[in-house]
Structure 1
Amino acid sequence: MTSTASLSPVRLALTPKTALAGLLDGAWWPRSRDLAAQLPLLVDALNGSFGRITRITANPTCWLEVPHRISVAEGHIVQVGWFSEQDSDKLTLLSYAVGRCDLLVIPPDTEAAAAGRLMAAAALPGNVRAVGTLMTDEAAIGLRIRNARSSEEAEETDGGTAATPERRPVVGARMIALPWNMRR
């Protein structure tokens, strides 16, 4: 189940139901760091897949405030706890029906392309990369992309083209006649 920004207020990617168990059940890209405003939307979106969510845990370092409980659309209260030992980019949801759902939390200010890559990686069946590894890998990819863009921009300001490398013969190379280039 993937929600897109244009169709739903919840940006969510869940691992498809397969026999391949992974470390995460998907990824969530909240629109703000206001957990009290964002969690009810997430719980409502997960209601069909995970049943009634009863408890949520989060690391408080990434949120403006962690509420003790939230009220959700179906009229029940969900208890919210915080644990500083839990990975800061992870949210754990507990339900009677499924048990546990671990989601990668993508920071709200993440660029759309990076968030898309993270959501796809976290929702991949059999994913064995931990939350910290996914975030570190994405940071490295983002840095390479920014460096490539910077070098392209530098080439454009230096005259528009990069210097053509000088052609040199390859030592030990042989010319091979191809059928369409052969003289008869």
Structure 2
Amino acid sequence: MTATMLLTPAVEERTPSSSPPRLVLAPAGTAPALIDGAWWPRSRDLKAELPALIEVLDPLWGRITQVTVNPTFWPVIPRRVPAHGHVVHVGWFEAEQDPHKLLLLSYTVGRWDLLVIPPETAPATAARLMATATDPARSLTATGLIHEAERFRAAAEAAADADSFREAVWDSEGGHDARHPASRTSDRTVVGPVPTPAEGV
């Protein structure tokens, strides 16, 4: 089973807790991997973001009782968060946990790990990360996925810059007309009829 939430940006008037979570999970039955899915929160506020996430995951994974994060990217870590009719305990590990990962412990099933996509990520990069995080061949850590996406984005930007530069040079050298001389206007101005070779000069 795959649970995929819409990747549409948040409506400005909504609070993070009232918006559906931007979440994708690996299909059930796929080979175990370092990441079980990807979550793209709208902010760095765990108290506001976790309830909607837990509400989706509880029916799929069993009651989520504990969540841990790395404090690197979370300015405030509440000890408890009310979510889906129960309380979720929140903990943190600095050296032991990947800073781009959310670890969830289920009451019945066990442990799940989600890639946390930074809230400020561009939609195209976030979509790429979500697809990569649930690819059956996935083998990267959460930070590895983020670094790979960053390299891909930088390469795409460099290629776009190179294309723009080549186009600018091409335009400065005559552009389309330089490749098709017949389409250019003659440099000379001709007044009157042009004699044909048979008529002589």
The bucket for the TM-score relative to the shorter chain is: 0.7 to 0.9
Aligned pairs, number = 163
Q: How does 1:26-175 map to 2 (within 5 A)?
A: 26-72=37-83, 74-85=84-95, 86-160=97-171, 161=175
Cα displacement (A) at 1:9 = 2.1
Between Structure 1 and Structure 2, the one with more helix by share is: 2
Deviation of residue 137 (structure 1)? 1.1
Distance across 1 between alignment mates of 2:170 and 2:135: 43
- Say if 2:38 and 2:134, in contact at 8 Å, map to a contact too: yes
Identity, % of aligned pairs?
A: 45
Using a 3 Å threshold, how does the CA distance of structure 1 residues 19 and 13 change in structure 2: closer, same or farther?
Answer: closer
Distance 1:19 1:13 in 2: 14
The answer for the alignment partner of 1:172 in structure 2 is: none
Query: Which one has more relative contact order, counting CA pairs under 8 Å at least 6 apart?
Result: 1
Name the TM-score, length of structure 2 as normaliser. Answer: 0.75
Rg larger in structure: 2
2:6 corresponding residue in structure 1:
4
Where in structure 1 are there 5+ consecutive unaligned residues? Answer: 165-184
Letter in 2 for 1:14: L
TM-score if structure 1 supplies the norm length?
0.81
Equivalent residue letter for 2:110? G
Given the superposition, is the C-alpha separation of residues 115 and 6 from structure 1 closer, same or farther in structure 2, using an over 3 Å criterion? closer
Question: Shift of residue 123 of structure 1?
Answer: 1.3
How far does residue 159 in structure 1 lie from its aligned partner after superposition?
Answer: 4.7
Residue 14 of structure 1 is matched in structure 2 by 25
Distance 1:17 1:125 in 2: 11
- In the alignment, the residues of structure 2 paired with residue 19 and residue 36 of structure 1 have an alpha-carbon distance, to the nearest angstrom, of 31
Return the alpha-carbon distance in structure 1 between the equivalents of residues 46 and 170 of structure 2: 49
Task: State the secondary structure of the residue aligned to 1:93.
Answer: strand
Unaligned 5+ runs, structure 2: 10-18, 180-201
Q: Distance in 1 between matches of 2:127 and 2:7?
A: 11
